[in-house]
Amino acid sequence: MLTVLLVSAAVLLLAELLYFRLAERLGIMDRPNGRSSHTRPTIRGGGIVFPLAALLAFLFDGFAYPWFLLGLLMLAVVEFTDDVRSLPDSVRLVAQFAAMALMFLQLGLFSGGFPWWYIPLALVLSVGIVNAWNFMDGINGITGGYSLAVLMPLIYLDASSDAPFVDPDLLAVTAVAALVFCLFNFRTRARCFAGDVGSVSVAFIILFALGSLVLRTGDLSWLLLLAVYGVDTVLTICHRIMLHENLGQAHRKHAYQLMANELGVRHVTVSAFYSLLQLLISSVAVLLLPDSPAARWTYFGAVLLVLCAAYIVFMKKNYHLHEEYLRSRAAAGE
């Protein structure tokens, strides 16, 4: 395993540095606008190390999970193309559903004897989770840090189970990719952003591992490993629906965006807070709770109640700052 980690770190670091040169030459840059949380042009697509990590794990493990990898690479190509030149949302959604179907094929969902309505429901939920990861990719460090906060409990659960629910190399090499990405993104002045290719790809990998865990245990309460992102995403969508906004339009209304923009908290501080909060929630479930679905569901429900209450209180206290920002933009004619 140590050799796999060292080789992966060297290959992924070299690939990232080579990509930076290519991106600078081709002008693959994220340029700030009124909805951005950054202020200077930054390389986009640095998260390309995540599909590369899955490809490395595929080679290390004797070509395990071919349908999963095919779906991931197809998704990565489409999302990277969108990073370079914007694609219609319909094209991206078709690719996401097709990639998810290939993942489900790898997981054996199509032959698992489930009721017919499980599959479309699971497809919609899974595509929603992948897009939530993309929606939350808005400040330095949050994608890499939060992904590590989810990967670490998955690695522990996989290593401590009688039979691994997913190949350990896939989780380990993906964690290495997250660390490499964090070297250039989890900082005050980011060298690169993940881009859609990064946020969507790492979410796809994590979802595959989480889906394998849920299928092995028959316990959906393991979704608590995504609780912090889940609450912020779902409640922000509800808030925007209440405001009669177009959900497909870019915005900066997430709680973490208000912290970083309107309240002026450093990006890396906000990202560390989200990541450590999720890691704490997951660690309690993994290390302290009895290993029973009933205990996890009770804990999951309590966590959701606390997170939802905190989100609502935070928004009631601070959302007026975002409204003032919108009025100032309108007055400036932006």
In this structure, is residue 20 part of a structural domain? yes
Which H helix or E strand runs over 79? helix 66-84
In this structure, is residue 87 part of a structural domain? yes
Alpha-carbon distance values, 328 to 258, 325, 333 (Å): 16, 5, 9
Across 274-279, average pLDDT: 98
Number of structural domains found in the chain: 1
In this structure, is residue 37 part of a structural domain? no
The 3 state secondary structure assigned to 28-55 is: CEECCCCCCCCCCCEECCHHHHHHHHHH
In this structure, is residue 323 part of a structural domain? yes
Query: Residue 35 has what pLDDT?
Result: 53
In this structure, is residue 200 part of a structural domain? yes
Lowest mean pLDDT, pick from 204-208, 249-253, 254-258? 249-253
Is pLDDT at 333 greater than 70 in this prediction?
A: no
In this structure, is residue 7 part of a structural domain? yes
Taking alpha carbons only, the member of 174, 166, 196 closest to residue 91 is 196
Q: Tens of pLDDT along 187-210?
A: 999 999 999 999 999 999 999 999
Query: Residue 248 has what pLDDT?
Result: 76
- Token couple for 191: 């060298």
Q: Which residues of 263-282 are buried (b: 16+ CB within 10 A; e: fewer)?
A: eeeebbebbbbbbebbbebb
Residue 74's domain comprises 2-32+42-331
In this structure, is residue 313 part of a structural domain? yes
Tokens 């009933």 -> residue: 294
Q: Tens of pLDDT along 119-144?
A: 999 999 999 999 999 988 889 999 99
CA separation for the pair 98, 54 (Å, rounded): 18
Higher pLDDT: 334 or 325? It is 325
Q: Give the type of residue at 179.
A: L
Identify the band that residue 29 occupies on the pLDDT scale cut at 50, 70 and 90: confident
Identify the band that residue 32 occupies on the pLDDT scale cut at 50, 70 and 90: low
Identify the band that residue 41 occupies on the pLDDT scale cut at 50, 70 and 90: confident
Percent of the chain with pLDDT over 70: 96
In this structure, is residue 145 part of a structural domain? yes
Of 37-51, 100-114, 208-222, highest mean pLDDT = 208-222
Stated pTM of the model: 0.94
Q: Tens of pLDDT along 152-190?
A: 999 999 999 888 999 999 999 999 999 999 999 999 999
CA separation for the pair 85, 253 (Å, rounded): 25
Is pLDDT at 281 greater than 80 in this prediction?
A: yes
